Amino acid sequence: MTEETKGRWIPLESNPETFNFWATKAGLVASQARFVDIYGLDEELLAYVPKPVKAVVLLFPIDDEGEARRKEEDGRIAREGQPKIDPSIFWLKQTISNACGTIGLIHSLVNSDVVFAPTSPLQQFVFQCQDKTPEERAEILATTNLFTDIHAESANTGQSAPNVDTDLHFTCFVQAPDADIRKAARGEDLSEDVKGDKVSSGMRLIELDGRRAGPVDQGECKDLLTDVANFVKARYLSSSTSVFFSLMALTTAPEE
């Protein structure tokens, strides 16, 4: 990476070929999981996505309305907190321009129960990031030449010419246990207001975006694919006329 491109990567193209290439290079055991296209958000089209789905990656256009909504949500989180967020969720801050594809890949893979080679780059990265802050994790990513190379190779697998000037951004959705359930499983005491019937027995829909202040709890999650589809329709598509949206699912279903 030259001084001119330092801190600014070529954007990844939103297609399974590119994401699967990156994941395999980073150490994913290819027979265990893969990314596939989500062709639409209607129930009939969602039915074609192989199950189970472990993560969903969304590419969306950045616009003024979305940015205002993001700032409002971040302000609410700063005031009220997110008591149901599972503290074991792996998240890192995005400090490299156009690295949102790689960060979306890391967030989706590390927060899923997919299999990596023990000495793979991603497994080593997770090991290095233990007990590190999101900003320190970002620095490790930025200074790991192997990840820079994997990203560059992956960007060149796309079907269109790379463009370093883009207003498109990747975010990732996973599901995680309600923090109260995690506490109960460890035998920890719960406060009076979350005991008994007030303790959720389900999962949470977690959005992982490196531009945010941290993981964002987007509510209860009963079915990851369906809940992400409903969220994207309500949050993104309802207020946009852009055609520059795409979604991919990380699935552990075997290829037919």
> In the predicted model, is pLDDT for residue 145 greater than 90?
no
Q: How far is CA 245 from CA 57, 124, 146, 153, in A?
A: 11, 32, 29, 23
- Tens digits of residue pLDDT in 89-111: 999 999 999 999 999 999 999 99
Cα(77)–Cα(51) distance, integer angstroms = 32
Please tell me the least confidently modeled range out of 108-117, 122-131, 192-201.
Answer: 192-201
- Tens digits of residue pLDDT in 156-170: 876 544 444 458 999
> In the predicted model, is pLDDT for residue 113 greater than 50?
yes
Radius of gyration of the chain, Cα coordinates, nearest whole angstrom: 18
Query: What is the pTM (predicted TM-score) of this model?
Result: 0.88
> In the predicted model, is pLDDT for residue 34 greater than 80?
yes
Q: Is residue 209 left, alpha or beta, with left meaning phi > 0 and alpha meaning psi from -120 to 50? A: beta
Quick one: angle between helices 121-129 and 100-110, nearest 10?
A: 80
> In the predicted model, is pLDDT for residue 82 greater than 80?
yes
Q: How far is CA 111 from CA 72, 220, 244, in A?
A: 26, 17, 26
pLDDT at residue 160, rounded to an integer: 47
Quick one: angle between helices 100-110 and 16-26, nearest 10?
A: 60
Complete domains list, the chain, with CATH:
16-251 (3.40.532.10)
What is the arithmetic mean of pLDDT over 76-87? Answer: 92
DSSP code, position 137: H
Catalytic residues, which ones?
100, 169
What is the arithmetic mean of pLDDT over 23-50? Answer: 93
